[in-house]
Amino acid sequence: MATEPGQRTTNTAIQFTHQSEKLSLQTHDAKDGGSQGTMAVEARFITPQDPVIETEAGARLPAVPLKEALELNRLRDQVEGQGSLSGRRTRDPAHRKHEESVEESSQAESIQSTRPDASLRTAIPPSRTNPLFPELPLYGPPSLLRDIQCIGFRVSSAILSLTFLGVIILGSAFTSLPLMFRHIGIRLTFRNPDARRPFYEEERRRQQDRDEEAREWKKKRRRSESSSNADDGNDEEEGGQNEEEFEPTEGGQDPLVCDVGYYARRVGLNAATYEVMTEDGFIIQLVHIYNPKEHTPPSPSQRAHGGPVVFPKPVAHDRSSSNSSASSSLTTDASKRSKYPILLIHGLLQSSGAYCANDDSSLAFYLCKSGYDVWLGNNRCGFNPRHQLLSAADPRMWNWNIRQMGVMDLPALVSRVLSETGFPKLGLICHSQGTTETFVALAKEQRPDLGDKISVFCALAPAVYAGPLIGKMYLKFMRIISPGMFRVMFGIHSFIPFMMTMHALLPRRLYGALGYRVFSFLFNWTDDRWDQGLRDRLFQFAPVYVSAESMRWWLGRECFASQKCILATREEGRIEDEEDEEEDDYYAHSNEQSTERMLDGQSHPDQPHPNRGRKAWFDEHVPPFALWVAGSDDLVDGRRLLRRFERGREPHVRVVHSKIIEEYEHLDVLWAIDSVEKVANEVREVLWKTIPEDLRTRCRVPKECEGVGVWEDPGVRAAAGSAS
């Protein structure tokens, strides 16, 4: 009997070791001591549904299934209680308390109702597979069997995904034939086919301006070379006479490069790249766009990542080289005040360069020259996949989807921008998938506190509900096949990496033309409203590396393509549609009664569904929303999202601006020739009017915003009027 406690201690320690090895970077029997510091010691919960693994050395590994994380911590607690882990550090009480609440809520919710009309919080217990965010697979540490399986997936996906890509390329070529023949026919009649484009004259003018600028740049270079031995004083005098506010430092004919900094320098700006580490160990890039006459970027070591910690406590440090320093924010000189920080997040298969490829009409450059402090976020992997511990060959490097991008990438980027600028809030601008990860992150089941760090969320072509394009044959095929077959076809690493090989090897102009035709075929958009002379440049920043698992979330049978929404199941959507139809019928048959009630002083008539916000996605932390919807967008359905807000299904959401641009397609909100007039000008004003009053006194007023007042919540005004 005396040996029973010791036997239990030994058994628990063995179980903990086995569980730790299952979640570690390497096993204990790794050769040459390779496992030192890489063994899993605990699971840290980023959200109640998103545990990541921390190793002995304090490094992080990506998310694992909830039950595996809870089991690791349960065994750890038992071993610690028996004194077998005295040499290892213990969790802090706050973290332990949080984990206990996670386990208790998991047990409580496992017995909750799973009625189809129940809310997401009550209908989907964390311990089960969530139809919106299914648990990711668990890939253990390297082993002979796992390596063989990885090779098998690589071989099968290389063959099958290339076949799939070949079909897409052939399809795009086939559908281009009628356009080509029509183009040739117009040419044979001595007409210009481009003359039918809606902005033909503007395109010609811009091309002439670019050609003239290229000639002037060459002349300037020749004068600079010929006068290299001229008197320094004369040079200074001439430079002072010709000094511009934004003087380009690059020019000439565009060689088409995948470099944000190069295109920034062509318009008189510059760019500095920062490293950011997410809470699950991915190292992602953050690009700062700035005026080189006002700002000197920190050294490369200061721009390196600081570890997997978001929103740390403020630490005093020198910001003397930054135009956004805390000291300059208190100056009485308006021209020397800080610029308000804004963060831009790109869409699916794109990078931050999508905001920078359209010269002065680029949204990032336009807002920077208007007077904002512009930062561009890139999601994990991008052009250069990096992780704190993992290599690109490890399947765990690619074991993520939109949930991890929203819950971990976005907070890490926001945290770094706030840390660098010293502001408590920033303005957030997102396009397409960037809006998706933001909506996911702000949801009350994920990281709603993030909303406290955002003054306004500007959503361009918001991707919340699926558009009709999801029914296309090639997309429907990806939804029909099983998850296992999806992995056989597209692997468990990056999604069709051959696209990146083509990006590196093909001539730039050929790649731009091919990229446009393929993406136009896939997503049903055209370049009618773009500057055709810059079209090849626009596609130099896409595609990027994304995980096959994230594409399965978008297009596979379980998630977005099936549910047709990012935060509600198809059944919940059907119920909401039925309620909307009932309300429409109700209003149609009771218009006279409603008018009478309002004349009697009632603000609203009786409604058949008074508690429309019972399944709200967001809570009181959500920031104000501003939405620009492309009316001719087949990829996503922005109108339905606006209707959700108009119907009062999100009582905490304050929509400060909404606009449907009927003629716009999905990318026109970024690249249309008239996007500055129809989108960028409004974004500039919305950003300014939503800045809290106490922060405005610290900020430089953007151009054309001198008369823009502070936005007031209509609900607050209504309450004040009622009280008076």
Which pLDDT score is estimated for 8?
76
Which pLDDT score is estimated for 434?
97
- Per-residue pLDDT reduced to its tens digit, 362-378: 999 999 999 999 999 99
- 608 pLDDT higher than 60: no
Mean predicted lDDT score pLDDT of the chain: 84
* Candidate from 80-84, 310-314, 465-469, 643-647 with smallest mean pLDDT: 80-84
- 605 pLDDT higher than 50: no
Dist. CA 295–CA 519, nearest whole Å = 38
Which pLDDT score is estimated for 238?
47
557 assigned to some structural domain = yes
Cβ burial, residue 625 (10 Å; 0-12/13-18/19+):
buried
Of 378, 405, 173, 130, the closest CA to residue 276 belongs to 378
Share of the chain above pLDDT 90, in %: 61
Which pLDDT score is estimated for 4?
72
Q: For residues 160-173, give the mean pLDDT.
A: 92
Q: For residues 186-207, give the mean pLDDT.
A: 91
- 68 pLDDT higher than 90: yes
Q: For residues 288-298, give the mean pLDDT.
A: 95
Share of the chain above pLDDT 70, in %: 81
Which pLDDT score is estimated for 600?
54
Q: What is the CATH number of the domain that holds 518?
A: 3.40.50.1820
Which pLDDT score is estimated for 511?
94
Dist. CA 556–CA 484, nearest whole Å = 11
Query: Where does a domain end: 100, 127, 154?
Result: 127
Confidence of residue 597 (pLDDT cuts 50, 70, 90): low
Which pLDDT score is estimated for 99?
57
Which range, 8-22, 72-86, 229-243, is most confident?
8-22
Which pLDDT score is estimated for 111?
37
471 assigned to some structural domain = yes
539 assigned to some structural domain = yes
Which pLDDT score is estimated for 101?
55
181 assigned to some structural domain = no
Which pLDDT score is estimated for 188?
87
Query: Where does a domain end: 127, 154, 184?
Result: 127
Which pLDDT score is estimated for 127?
35
- 270 pLDDT higher than 90: yes
- Measured in degrees and rounded to the nearest 5, phi and psi for residue 464 equal -115, -45
Per DSSP bridges, beta strands 341-345 and 426-431 are parallel
161 assigned to some structural domain = no
Q: For residues 7-26, give the mean pLDDT.
A: 88
Give the position of tokens 């020397």: 336
Query: Where does a domain end: 77, 102, 127?
Result: 127
Give the position of tokens 């919080």: 121
User: Where is pLDDT greater, at 103 or 712?
Assistant: 712
Dist. CA 288–CA 300, nearest whole Å = 13
CB neighbours of 414 closer than 8 A, spacing ≥ 6?
Answer: 310, 343, 426, 428, 450, 453, 454
- 277 pLDDT higher than 70: yes
- Measured in degrees and rounded to the nearest 5, phi and psi for residue 123 equal -85, -25
Answer yes or no: are the C-beta atoms of 377 and 412 closer than 8 Å: no
CB neighbours of 558 closer than 8 A, spacing ≥ 6?
Answer: 131, 134, 483
Which pLDDT score is estimated for 125?
36
Q: For residues 99-128, give the mean pLDDT.
A: 43
Of 601, 606, 620, 593, the closest CA to residue 722 belongs to 601
Which pLDDT score is estimated for 400?
96
Domain count, the chain: 2
655 assigned to some structural domain = yes
305 assigned to some structural domain = yes
Q: For residues 110-120, give the mean pLDDT.
A: 38
Q: For residues 241-248, give the mean pLDDT.
A: 75
Contacts 24+ apart (CB under 8 A), 478-485: 478/555, 478/556, 478/561, 479/555, 479/556, 479/557, 479/561, 479/562, 480/557, 481/557, 482/557, 483/552, 483/556, 483/557, 483/558
- Per-residue pLDDT reduced to its tens digit, 468-493: 998 888 888 888 998 899 999 999 99
Confidence of residue 628 (pLDDT cuts 50, 70, 90): very high
- Measured in degrees and rounded to the nearest 5, phi and psi for residue 188 equal -65, -20
User: Where is pLDDT greater, at 89 or 520?
Assistant: 520
Which pLDDT score is estimated for 598?
47
Q: For residues 399-409, give the mean pLDDT.
A: 96
Which pLDDT score is estimated for 306?
87
Confidence of residue 708 (pLDDT cuts 50, 70, 90): confident
Answer yes or no: are the C-beta atoms of 426 and 455 closer than 8 Å: yes
- 95 pLDDT higher than 90: no
163 assigned to some structural domain = no
Structure token digits, residue 81: 């209680």
Which pLDDT score is estimated for 326?
38
- Per-residue pLDDT reduced to its tens digit, 307-351: 898 998 755 444 434 444 333 334 445 667 899 999 999 999 999
- 579 pLDDT higher than 60: yes
Which pLDDT score is estimated for 604?
46
* Candidate from 164-168, 276-280, 431-435 with smallest mean pLDDT: 164-168
Confidence of residue 609 (pLDDT cuts 50, 70, 90): low
Dist. CA 270–CA 69, nearest whole Å = 44
Which pLDDT score is estimated for 713?
59
Confidence of residue 510 (pLDDT cuts 50, 70, 90): very high
CB neighbours of 437 closer than 8 A, spacing ≥ 6?
Answer: 345, 379, 402, 405, 406, 409, 410, 430
Enclosing domain of residue 105: 3-127
User: Where is pLDDT greater, at 601 or 612?
Assistant: 612
pTM for this prediction? 0.88
- Per-residue pLDDT reduced to its tens digit, 528-566: 999 999 999 999 999 999 999 999 999 998 889 999 999
